[in-house]
């Protein structure tokens, strides 16, 4: 069984559309994250939730809205998609906040292409 699974794996859409990426972890972890990886492979944190509570919100446009219905799920909704949103989005989880232990478990990524 996949530890951190995210869907869809690939997403191609037009500018201006709204799309969602779903993430689920079956590791029993308390903390979940969204990271964005650009075309140069640069990985940057977007959001972090601990027990369904938002604890990290980087300077991300408010078109991006994370939602955590329970601690095993963290979804990412993006409104009014722009060309610059094209990237690979990674969901991750950790037992506790990264820093106590840095072992983040990443999903396989969702490649978003905005045309």
Partner 1 sequence: GESVGLHLPTLSVQEGDNSIINCAYSNSASDYFIWYKQESGKGPQFIIDIRSNMDKRQGQRVTVLLNKTVKHLSLQIAATQPGDSAVYFCAENAGGTSYGKLTFGQGTILTVHP
Give the x/- contact pattern for partner 1 in 26-55, rule: CB under 8 A.
Answer: -----x-------xxxxxxx--x-x----x
CB of 49 to partner 1, least distance (A): 11
Residues of this chain, 72-111, that bind partner 1 according to CB under 8 A: 90, 92, 97-99, 101-109
Please answer whether residues 33 and 93 qualify as being in contact, where contact means their C-beta atoms are separated by less than 8 angstroms: yes
Alpha-carbon distance of 38 to 4, in angstroms, equals 20
Please answer whether residues 31 and 49 qualify as being in contact, where contact means their C-beta atoms are separated by less than 8 angstroms: yes
1 touching partner 1, by CB under 8 A: no
Of residues 18 and 55, the one with the C-beta less far from partner 1: 55
Distance (Å) of CA 62 to CA 14, 28, 71, 100: 19, 29, 22, 29
> What residue ranges bind partner 1 (CB under 8 A)?
4, 31, 39-45, 48, 50, 55-56, 58, 90, 92, 97-99, 101-109
């Amino acid at each position: 069984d996949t530890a951190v699974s995210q869907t869809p794996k690939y997403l191609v859409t037009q500018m201006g559309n709204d799309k969602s990426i779903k993430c689920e972890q079956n590791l029993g972890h308390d903390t979940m994250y969204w990271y964005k990886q650009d075309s140069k492979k640069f990985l940057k944190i977007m959001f972090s939730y601990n027990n369904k509570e938002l604890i990290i919100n980087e300077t991300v446009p408010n078109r991006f809205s994370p939602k955590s219905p329970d601690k095993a799920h963290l979804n990412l909704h993006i409104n009014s998609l722009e060309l610059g949103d094209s990237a690979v989005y990674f969901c991750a989880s950790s037992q506790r906040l990264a820093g106590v232990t840095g072992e983040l478990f990443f999903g396989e990524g969702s490649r978003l292409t905005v045309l």
